[in-house]
Amino acid sequence: MHLFISDLDGTLLDRNAELPAETKDRLNRLIADGMDFTVATARTYSSVGRILAGLELKLPLILMNGVLIYDPVLQKYDVVNKLSSGAVEKVLKLRRQLDLAPFMYRMQGDVMTTAFDRLLGESMHDFYEERVRKYGKQFCQADRLEDIAEDVIYFCFIDKSERLQPLYNAIKEVPDLSMAYYPDIYGEDYYLEIFSSAASKEAGVKWLREKLGADRITAFGDNLNDLPMFDAADERIAVNNAAEELKKRADRVIGANTENGVAVYLERYFGGKTEEKNG
């Protein structure tokens, strides 16, 4: 099996964080013809399900940078990586000291909830409002996150890089925590996402390789949080709008996300394979 895995924002999606109808049609034709394809993203299924509606995905999806792996056919989570109570306490204590406010994600059974106690800055407000308006996502506002800090799987901070850097520096020394720290492609601020050290896009790709028996994996990405996925792939492809560091790690660079780069490449790849068979 040759498995193709694509990031979403900045890679498969357009500048409006939507999947163009042309891209969807091209991918559906390839999937119907036997292409093994899935996605890996920092997003949750509540937004991914709406963004990718109509795309005939049959293989597990890597969500929240590998914290969750979701089976769209059986409609269940195959993998859930929760944070330890000690790790959660550490993050919440540090954010108080640094006057930061996260979105805190919890998984209780198969139900995921997202909570916050404050919305700091324009980017955090925009994140909240877009997900409520565009994806119908529900948030819970708490007086104190510490009072509901059970079954936590993920923290998402959105702020200026100079405000997030001290938290990043402190957390990177904690052995049971992992992070994704990268610029927001839709704005001026940065994302700092904190999760279990057992989770990453790299771990998700390795899980899929073993689960599906894939002997070759091609990964498509655009941002720094795709570097772990590149580490686990056999072939690494960056879109033309990708961060320079990612391009340096890529085996090849293809068209930008606004040019249907991933779908065009896959059509050419499988078109070439068809010609080889016919020849």
- Both 190 and 267 in one domain: the answer is no
Provide the number of structural domains found in the chain.
2
Tally of CB atoms within 10 A around 78 = 14
Tell me what pLDDT residue 273 has. 56
| pLDDT digits 0-9 by tens, 181-240 | 998 878 889 999 999 989 989 999 999 999 999 999 999 999 998 999 999 999 999 999
Buried-state track 28-45, b at ≥16 Cβ within 10 A, e below 16: bebbeeebbbbbbbbbbb
Q: Structural domain of residue 37, as residue ranges?
A: 2-79+200-278
- Both 15 and 69 in one domain: the answer is yes
- Both 146 and 168 in one domain: the answer is yes
| pLDDT digits 0-9 by tens, 129-143 | 988 888 888 899 999
- Both 75 and 90 in one domain: the answer is no
Ramachandran angles phi, psi of 194, nearest 5°: -120, 135
Residue where one domain finishes, among candidates 196, 213, 232: 196
Which secondary-structure segment (H or E) carries 276? helix 261-278
> What DSSP state is assigned to residue 83?
P
Residues 42 and 64 sit within 8 Å (Cβ to Cβ)? yes
Tell me what pLDDT residue 272 has. 56
Residues 171 and 91 sit within 8 Å (Cβ to Cβ)? yes
Q: Got the DSSP string for 153-204?
A: EEEEEEE-HHHHHHHHHHHTT-TTEEEEEEE-TTSSSEEEEEEETT--HHHH
pTM of the full structure: 0.84
CATH number for the domain including 161?
A: 3.30.1240.10
Low-confidence ranges of the chain (pLDDT < 70): 272-279
CATH number for the domain including 8?
A: 3.40.50.1000
Tell me what pLDDT residue 103 has. 96
